[in-house]
Amino acid sequence: MTPRLSLSVRLALLFAAVVAVASSGLGFYLYHSFAGQLEWRDDVQLLGKLRQLRQQLADAATPELLLTRPQYLRDTMSGESNALIDVRALDGEVLLTINPRREALPSPAPLAENEEPAPAALVRWHTRDSSPAAAVAGVARLGQPDGRPVVVTVARAYPDRAALLAAYRWRIGLAAALAAALAALLAAGVVWRALAPLRRLSRVAGDITVNRLSTRLDARDAPPEIARLATALNTMLARLEDGFARLSQFAADLAHEFRTPVGNLLGQSQVMLARPRAESDYQALLESNIEELERLARMIDNMLFLARADHAGQALDRQPLSIAAELTRQAEYFEGLAEERGVTIRTRGDGTLRADPALLRRALGNLVANAVRHATPGSTIELSARHDGSVWHLAVENDGAPLPEAVLARLFDRFYRADTARSDSARSSGLGLAIVRSIMALHGGQAQVAQTGSRLRFTLTFPDAPDPAA
């Protein structure tokens, strides 16, 4: 696997690339600006030489000088070795040629005698050694102002300019490379210093273990971006700590809940097998073991349901249900048990609720069973329903012994019992209210509990579900 570059190296290289591109762009602009200025200067000088040659050719002594001293006109070009001059009659007769480089001159259209030389009249080409060159031609009078008309071609090669621009390009490239290297070094230092808080957070996070989930990342001196990251990580750590604590407590509660029935099964069986027994004794033992096994089966079934609900593995079969019919069903089902406890059940409210029938009945059944178990003898358990805006509120109320606020806050926790001394462990596993909360979570609702004096009220809040057939 190819090793990945660190963030510091990536940022340093990126910054170096940006500086290199910016330096190259600036160098490109300066180079072309400088090259344009040099070319403009040379063009102005060349056009000026054509004007000067016109004036010298108009002198009366010039015809004789062309024969006796042809280098006279080169002196007009300041003795430049790269200057090229060609003077011809209108019929093509060569009167003078100064071309030490033996270059093939272009044939620019000559300017009229009175036409002022301008840059548009220049013809550009490259010499045999690839040097840039320019030429301009114009008609002049040889001798007197009314003398013989001739065509004067003035040209110049610029190898020195090409060499100067080549050196300038090399310097620009070198400067851009040095700037990029310097930027990379500076960026690496700046990024290394800027990421110091992140390295500190990384060291602290690396020291966090299962036994140190309470550790939090300190980002008080960190930049806002890293501080937000630390805050998010601290929030995640808090959730992990809470989840791990719940998991540990769940494992301890689960072991405790299984220990009692398993201990009962093991103890009763060992006692029974200690000596020979009558057939009726063995039958009684089997009946007792069956009760304990049924309790274990119910507990396992409840735990599986909670596991599926927690992972959204329980599919809902929402159907329109008559609330009055569902409340009456629960009242009739628990009527016998309520009479044994000396309490009565009353229902009120009606309407249509879209919910999963089996899950709704299980949630209501758990609440009613809890109310019957803990209601004060002679009191009334009330099952009610009301519609409030876009939600349904189904409530189960009973009178009983007042519960502390700390107990109310934990009633929906798994394996939690408000009064372990009075709880019937054979019938209650401490998962009934936890199942109610999971059922409501599947429906997108809530399960709440409130207490007014000795009146305990459990409320199931169902949001209105759209009808898929509508």
Model confidence over 10-64: pLDDT tens digits? Answer: 888 888 888 888 988 998 999 999 999 999 999 999 998 888 888 877 776 666 6
pLDDT at position 422 = 41
Beta partners for residue 133, in sequence order: 125, 157
Looking at per-residue confidence, does 50 or 73 come out higher? 50
Claim: this prediction has a pTM higher than 0.85: no
Q: Which residues contact 413 (CB under 8 A, 6 or more apart)?
A: 434
Q: What six digits make up the tokens of 193?
A: 């210093």
Asked whether the predicted pLDDT for residue 329 surpasses 50, the reply is yes
Least Cα distance to 85 among 115, 125, 57 occurs for 57
Q: For residues 198 and 194, what is the distance between their CA atoms, to the nearest angstrom? A: 8
Q: For residues 50 and 55, what is the distance between their CA atoms, to the nearest angstrom? A: 9
pLDDT at position 386 = 92
Q: Which residues contact 446 (CB under 8 A, 6 or more apart)?
A: 440, 460, 461
Model confidence over 134-161: pLDDT tens digits? Answer: 999 999 888 766 678 889 999 998 888 8
pLDDT at position 66 = 63
How far lies 401's CA from each of 46, 76, 409, 412, in Å? 115, 124, 16, 18
Model confidence over 233-290: pLDDT tens digits? Answer: 888 888 888 878 777 776 776 676 677 778 878 888 888 888 888 888 888 888 888 8
Mean pLDDT, the chain, whole residue set: 83
Q: Give the DSSP letter of residue 102.
A: -
Model confidence over 365-424: pLDDT tens digits? Answer: 989 999 998 899 999 999 999 998 889 999 999 998 888 888 888 888 877 766 554 445
pLDDT at position 61 = 64
Percentage of the residues of the chain whose pLDDT score is greater than 70: 87
Q: For residues 395 and 383, what is the distance between their CA atoms, to the nearest angstrom? A: 6
Q: What is the pLDDT averaged over residues 320-328? A: 93
What band does 429 get if pLDDT is binned at 50, 70 and 90?
A: low
CA angle 246, 247, 251 (to 5 degrees): 115
Percentage of the residues of the chain whose pLDDT score is greater than 90: 21
Q: What is the pLDDT averaged over residues 430-457? A: 87
Model confidence over 100-125: pLDDT tens digits? Answer: 778 888 888 999 988 899 988 999 98
pLDDT at position 237 = 84
Give the CA dihedral 392, 398, 401, 404, nearest 10 degrees.
0
Give 139-164 as a DSSP string: EEEESSTTSEEEEEEEEEE-HHHHHH
